[in-house]
């Protein structure tokens, strides 16, 4: 039987409507909407699209948003000054500095400069540490979106074998912590894993975030598993530019019991979790 398609777009629409209603209440109670500042340094074409989509999503739910587009040549000091300006700005509850930044800027320093209570990316070491020890914190949006997707599709994690392919700071590492929090048995695989297909075939829930187009094939999937594809890759097919995930979707959907496509799966959920984090940060800010 072909798999259930996990529709991230529809889920995101539903959650954004919930956030829009909560935003109206916030506005009535506090006389201002939640506010998000998004900073982009340089002209990376994909980042420009992501940043525009983030600002659009903010407007849709009624947030205040500010976009700062700085030239590639911006110095680290000027970027730090701008982040510190938003740290002090009472109309701004969340700050996001788009990754990747130009090579002369040390990203870790920038992420540490963002006030941890406004760190809607969940990248500040305080938030990363609090996630590891199970304390209240802001959590990286992509893994949070995946957990929310699994929860709303009632896919169980307790006692299940979850395999995460990829160990990035943005997705893989926080994903491990969130799966542990849900009582899954977690394995993490990466480029040096000896038998990647074999490890993947153990997974009840397989989460793939490696940035390699259609890398995970049907023979790496246990029949009946849930597959979450985090990849966003652009390839040329039949002379056309097409977007594909890290999983070979057409063959995987014949083996899995549920699968999130790319596009239309994790992507819309990520931006939705950014809105959710911003609302959370705003509630803390007014307290």
Active site amino acids: 54, 98, 121
**Rounded least distance, CB 23 to ligand GUN, Å:** 21
* Options 21-29, 57-65, 91-99, 219-227: segment touching ligand GUN (CB under 6 A): 91-99
Exactly one of 32, 99, 161, 201 binds ligand GUN (CB under 6 A); that residue is: 99
Q: Which residues, numbered 156-195, are part of the site for ligand GUN (CB under 6 A)?
A: 170
Residue closer to ligand GUN by CB (options 213, 267) is: 267
Q: Of 3, 58, 82, 96, which one interacts with ligand GUN (CB under 6 A)?
A: 96
Cα–Cα distances in angstroms (integers) from residue 218 to residues 162, 198, 264, in the given order: 17, 12, 20
- SS3 label, residue 33: coil
User: Contact between 141 and ligand GUN (CB under 6 A)?
Assistant: yes
d(CA 36, CA 236): 35
Residue number, 26 or 111, with CB nearest to ligand GUN = 111
3-state SS class at 283: helix
What the block records as the tokens of 98 is 């788009």
CB of 25 vs ligand GUN, minimal distance in Å: 27
Token pair for 220? 């790496």
Which two three-digit tokens encode residue 25? 């209440």
**Beta carbons of 179 and 213 less than 8 angstroms apart:** no
Tokens coding 170: 């943005």
Determine the Cα–Cα distance for residues 279 and 32; give it in Å rounded to an integer.
Answer: 12
> Which residue in the shown chain puts its C-beta closest to ligand GUN?
99
The sheet that has 35-41: what strands, in order across it? 64-70, 35-41, 94-97
Question: Quick one: which of 93, 115, 119, 121 contacts ligand GUN (CB under 6 A)?
Answer: 121
The minimum distance between CB 66 and ligand GUN, in angstroms, equals 15
Token duo for residue 283: 């509630």
Q: Which is nearer to ligand GUN, 69 or 99 (CB)?
A: 99
Question: Using CB under 6 A, which of the segments 10-18, 24-32, 92-100, 198-206 binds ligand GUN?
Answer: 92-100
Q: Which residue has the tokens 């209440």?
A: 25
Residues lying near ligand GUN in the complex (CB under 6 A) are found at 96-99, 121, 141-142, 170
């Amino acid at each position: 039987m072909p798999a259930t398609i996990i529709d991230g777009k529809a889920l995101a629409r539903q959650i954004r409507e919930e956030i829009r209603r909560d935003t109206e209440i916030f506005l009535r109670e506090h006389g201002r909407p939640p506010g998000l500042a998004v900073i982009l340094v340089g002209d990376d074409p994909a980042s420009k699209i992501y940043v525009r989509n983030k600002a659009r999503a903010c407007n849709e739910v009624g947030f205040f948003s500010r976009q700062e587009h700085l030239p590639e040549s911006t110095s680290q000091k000027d970027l730090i000054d701008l982040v510190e300006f938003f740290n002090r700005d009472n109309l701004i509850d969340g700050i996001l500095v788009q990754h990747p930044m130009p090579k002369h800027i040390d990203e870790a320093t920038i992420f540490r400069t963002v006030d941890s209570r406004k760190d809607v990316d969940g990248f500040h070491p305080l938030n990363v540490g609090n996630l590891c020890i199970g304390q209240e914190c802001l959590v990286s949006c992509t893994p949070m979106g995946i957990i929310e997707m699994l929860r709303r599709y009632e896919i169980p994690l307790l006692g299940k074998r979850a395999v995460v392919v990829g160990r990035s700071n943005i997705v893989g590492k926080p994903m491990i912590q969130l799966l542990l929090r849900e009582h899954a048995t977690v394995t993490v695989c990466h480029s040096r894993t000896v038998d990647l297909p074999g490890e993947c075939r153990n997974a009840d829930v397989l989460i793939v975030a490696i940035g390699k187009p259609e890398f995970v094939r049907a023979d790496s999937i246990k029949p009946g598993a849930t597959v979450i594809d985090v990849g966003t890759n652009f390839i040329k097919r039949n002379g056309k530019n097409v977007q594909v995930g890290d999983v070979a979707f057409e063959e995987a959907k014949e083996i899995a019991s549920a699968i999130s496509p790319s596009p239309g799966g994790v992507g819309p959920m990520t931006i939705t979790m950014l809105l959710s984090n911003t609302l959370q940060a705003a509630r803390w800010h007014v307290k």
